[in-house]
Chain A
Amino acid sequence: MGWHRTMITPPSPLQHNKPSQIQLRQHAQWLLFLIFAITINMVEASLPSLGPWFKPGLANIITLLVLFIWGAKAALILATARVIVSALLIGTLFTPTFIIAISATLSSTLVMVIFYMLIPKPKTITISLLGATVHITVQFIVVETLFIQQHALYYLLPPLLFLACITGWLNGAIAAYTLKHFSLRGLNNQL
């Protein structure tokens, strides 16, 4: 996918000095992505759990799309805003669930951003796999350190990491497919 680096518009959608019409459009499109991510997050939260502490992380597809379209800053702000707004709407702000979610999301997005910048030709599946495994690992570290304080908790980590690999791969493939179709329809040029 050769469009990765060449088609990303350099100005971030979050810049504030005299926005042009293109920048305003970028702001609006970024907000649309944010609303979509929050919706996915809330739908996921309302669905019956696939197991304790396990979610497919579908909202991460949007973070991946934003990272590959607009870059690191836009992706980090979107991921943070998504967790905060979702927690506000669900009513879990500053609860243990929120603390676990915000720390895991920030760490996984940060790792995705670092590898996106380090790898010469980053692939969505590679970045998504890394994000998913870091997300679940950080969740365990936070729960163990702040709430449960039992090392035995890590017995549960390998099966959940295995599931994270599956969902990470799937989310990466969905993101790659979506990006390809954005590219096919010329939407990357608009963004």
Chain B
Amino acid sequence: MVNPHPHLSIGDDFLKELRGHRSDRLLLLILLITISCSWFWLQHQLNSREPVLYIYHQQTLLAYYPLMDSREKTIQIQGELGNISLQINASGAHITHSNCSRKACMQQHIIHPGEMIACVPNEIFMIIRGSNEEIQWDGIAQ
């Protein structure tokens, strides 16, 4: 094999590819601008007032809890594969038990508006949103 660029090592050669072409950089720029604009728009949509945790099963709202309440509580949610245990306190919410196989939902701890936990096998979805109301309740289950 004859190396046509003997002055280039494997590392240099890869770095040359990594820089990409002008069209690649243009596409990346367009994508980054689109993503940034949509990100800012979505953040703008989220209210920054009292954070409230909303729990859904598919499209059905199961319950919602204010996160400013310092008392810790553990609630059970009925998912497609069985019960999910959710711990809620002033420092956020996280799943402590789930019957799903990958347990990816258990790796997440949410606290800020816009953050969410989705357990796809159980079809359970939780999101923190800001509340427009003055909160004077512990939680509402529907």
- Identify the A interface with B (CB < 8 A): 49, 52-53, 92, 95-97, 100, 123, 125-126, 129-130, 133, 143, 147-150, 152-159, 161-162, 165, 169-170, 172-174, 176-177, 180, 184-186
Contacts and interface: CB of A to CB of B under 8 A. Distances in A.
A165 B17 contact: no
Interface string B60-104: 000000000000000000000000000000000000000001101
A123 B116 contact: no
Interface in B27-73: 27-28, 31-32, 35-36, 38-39, 42, 46, 56, 58-59
Given A123-B21, A148-B125, 12 more contacts: A52-B104, A52-B105, A52-B107, A100-B120, A129-B27, A149-B58, A152-B125, A173-B14, A173-B17, A177-B17, A184-B1, A184-B3
A33 B123 CA distance: 36
Contacts of B3: 184
Interface of B: 1, 3-4, 13-14, 17-18, 20-21, 23-24, 27-28, 31-32, 35-36, 38-39, 42, 46, 56, 58-59, 101-102, 104-105, 107-108, 114, 116, 118, 120-121, 123, 125, 127, 129
Contacts of B116: 152-153, 155-156
Given A52-B108, A148-B58, A153 B121 contact: no
B102 A97 contact: yes
Nearest to B4: A184
A101 to B, nearest CB: 12
B30 to A, nearest CB: 10
Main secondary structure, interface of A, reads helix
Contacts of B24: 123, 125-126, 129, 169, 172
A156 B128 CA distance: 12
B98 to A, nearest CB: 13
Nearest to B114: A155
A185 B3 CA distance: 9
A147 B123 contact: yes
